[in-house]
Amino acid sequence: NIVLEPGAAALLDALHRAGFGAYAVGGCVRDSLLGLAPHDWDLCTAARPGQVMELFGEDRCIPTGLQHGTVTVKRDGKLYEITTFRTEGRYSDGRHPDSVAFVPDLREDLARRDFTINAMAYSAEEGLCDPFGGREDLARGVVRAVGEPLRRFGEDALRILRLYRFAARFGFAIDEATEAAAKQLAAHLDCVSTERIEEELNKLLAAPQPGAYLEPEVLAFVLPELPPEELTKARRRIDALPAGTEQVSARWAALLLPLGETGARKALKRLKCSNARIDGAAVLVRECGEKTPDTLDKCDLCLQAKCLLGKYDLHTVQQLTALWTALAPEEKASFDALRAEAEALTAQRACCRISQLAVNGRDLMAAGAAPGPGLRRVLEALLEEVITGRLPNEKTELLAFAAGFSAS
């Protein structure tokens, strides 16, 4: 019941007709069996990279990682990674295997993969190739290492984080021997590059309910900044937030809240997060620290929402209200109302900041106001009038008020 995507099917077909074994492999097979739409289709083949390039033509091929056997092929505007069957040596730089050896046999290629659910291949001719029981593990909802777990985590410690990431993504259990090995070798994560760790943590935090998969014995090595006694509460906060890649900054904030803004920034910087990620999470940590939900003034929802939108974009306001709700679930109704208000104001294009006023400094000067810092004070006063609803955001009314304001 795997339906190959047409582009992937056409590439596999071309490889077969040229006499090479070729299969869809890894995530796309796993996701198809789960009834999910794969986000990309990775292919593997007995053909060597040079042969793949020759078959599809240099202009359609990007030599992504020739020494590791990967060629990216363009087809109908989409990109497909085609990787030659291979085995791998150790990952001493924690990023790339030291050596790869191309092999003629699909089974050997599947044996180098991390987990049984990721070690299946499919072709229309041969159907599913599943030498390690991946389909059964999918059905049972278990993530299990291919082969001897201690050896596999010893080869590449990043697999320890991948274990929790995949388990969290699907809400799966973890095979006992696999988890024992992951905990035993967690200290090896020290050797893995920060970039790879950060990427895995982001993916883990995007999962539906990652709380239970934030394993203290593992987290201690990738996020030593977080005091272990804070973890239980942090897990609960994280699980209370919406999931998905757009929510990862809020989940970082929920995790790093005990560190305060400065501590959170430091930890994210050490992890080499992007500036957008650092700022996104830090703003949320700061707001949660400054204004705890119970001191939030709920008397004027509209004003409150406008003040927030004056400082932050809607997405941040949405994340903030979700975070406040996670901190004080009993106040959920008020935070939901606040978020709904912010959404409605945004839809109406309501004016919440100086830049959204119907007049700017130039308009004021054209109407006779003196240039200088006084202009800023006039604009602030205008914003105040508009936000509180005492004036409409219309040029003539604003200019009239400004004339009176400057005179007074």
Both structure tokens of 269: 């910087």
Task: Return d(Cα 334, Cα 341) in angstroms, integer.
Answer: 10
State the minimum distance, in angstroms, from the CB of residue 115 to Mg ion.
Answer: 13
State the minimum distance, in angstroms, from the CB of residue 316 to ligand ATP.
Answer: 27
Number of residues that bind Mg ion (CB under 5 A): 1
DSSP conformation letters of 16-78: HHTT--EEEETHHHHHHHTTPPPS---EEESS-HHHHHHHH-GGGEEEEEGGGTEEEEEETTE
Question: For residue 253, how many other CB atoms are within 10 A of its CB?
Answer: 28
Q: Does 188 bind ligand ATP (CB under 6 A)?
A: no
Q: Does 27 bind Mg ion (CB under 5 A)?
A: yes
- What residue is closest to ligand ATP based on CB? 27
Task: Return d(Cα 68, Cα 86) in angstroms, integer.
Answer: 8
Q: Does 196 bind ligand ATP (CB under 6 A)?
A: no
Task: Return d(Cα 245, Cα 155) in angstroms, integer.
Answer: 29
Closer residue to Mg ion, CB minimum distance, 27 or 293: 27
Residues 6+ apart with CB under 8 A from 93: 193
Rg (CA), the chain: 27
Task: Return d(Cα 94, Cα 75) in angstroms, integer.
Answer: 32
Q: Scanning residues 2 to 61, which ones bind ligand ATP (CB under 6 A)? A: 26-27, 39, 42
How far the first Cα of the chain sits from its last, in Å, is 78
Closer residue to ligand ATP, CB minimum distance, 42 or 175: 42
Q: Does 38 bind Mg ion (CB under 5 A)?
A: no
Q: Does 113 bind ligand ATP (CB under 6 A)?
A: yes
The interface region with Mg ion, picked from 22-30, 94-102, 238-246, 280-288 by CB under 5 A, is 22-30
- What residue is closest to Mg ion based on CB? 27
State the minimum distance, in angstroms, from the CB of residue 32 to Mg ion.
Answer: 13
- Per-residue binder mask for ligand ATP (CB under 6 A), 275-314, x = binder: ----------------------------------------
Q: Does 145 bind ligand ATP (CB under 6 A)?
A: no
**Binding footprint of ligand ATP on the chain (CB under 6 A):** 26-27, 39, 42, 113-114, 118-119, 156, 158-159
